Structure 1
Amino acid sequence: MQLFGSTTSPFVRKVRVILALKQIEYRFENTIPWEDDSPVHQLNPLSKVPVLRDPGGQIWYDSALIADLLDTRYPEARLIPEDPELRLLDRQYQVLADGICDAGVLIFLERKRDPAQQNPAWIARQEKKIEKGIDALADRLENRAFLAAEKMTVADIAALCTLEWLDIRAGMGSWKAAHPKLADWVARHTAEAPFASTRPQA
């Protein structure tokens, strides 16, 4: 099994954490999709990471789909609830976490442009999505240990990877002051081995 992606992508990290928690052996191919010679362009028509090549040679892309695939094929240590209602909740909060991340990535890329070409109103719109999304995560976790179930699921993994990426890579860690309980939740869980070993560099 091969996983193609960059060490800095929160979406790739989500899959790497899942693989680690399930103790699935794989080879990691560190590649930057922005580079013209990246194999990702041949593997995924959308030229996005993560991309997974399974033992049979089939190619899979999109972190949510890969998470579903891994939990289906490797049901030990399930990370997606079997109960239909909890499964829907897990998917909803994964969508929320991924949406926050999408907005953060868009800001990250926009700020790499020449300052004169940046669109402050557009950045502010993305920042509002992040703010409201994090508020929703904090509200959900106010009196709960996890987002969707009584144990960690893919939704929690997605949220943890997104929130730590915002802090470490994107320089958008101001949310921690407004949500100290959520910040403690992130710090506690990301100290565990599967997260610590995949933490992106600043």
Structure 2
Amino acid sequence: MGYLIEEWATRLAAAELSTALPRRWAHTQGVAHRAVEVGQVLGQDAGVLVAAATLHDIGYAPRLAMTGFHPLDGARFLRDEHGADERLVRLVANHSFALLEAEERGLREELASEFPLLEEPLLVDALVYCDMTTTPNGGRTTSEERVAEILGRYGDASVVGRFIRRAAPEIFAAVGRVEAALAAQPR
């Protein structure tokens, strides 16, 4: 993997999101930029991180929204229509603690059986970091501000609100681990 998968991911995400959901596309581009920066701590996995960051929200595309749960819809699209790399598909399916949201939606078994979590903690954490330190418009933010923004947008009692409150400690811990890994990199 590498430049070719990153280029493919960008073309695909742009085709599905840029016109239909421009704000989501702006967020996606910001997440991908963070992934390029974080890639230094991942070595050969930097390309799959950038591709996953670029494709993480593709399931929001109106034509792909079959279940209404974007991680599952996006992963199925990548697997079924594009035969995408299994690691990439599993990252998209499980990004930012999606399993907790799947549970809130009654889709936990479906997500877990089709797309098991990757046993690659730094890669999984890196995608959480990229998503949860990027605003809806693609700018930088802290994970605390991002969680607060999501709660404000969806409300405490919503499915997303319940999920994000449950996931917040895990999100903050993942972001902290990536920040520590970045700080440990030689300058």
Would you tell me which structure has more helix in proportion to its own residues? Answer: 2
Greater gyration radius: 1
Shorter-chain TM-score tier: 0.3 to 0.5
What is the TM-score of this pair, normalised by structure 2?
0.33
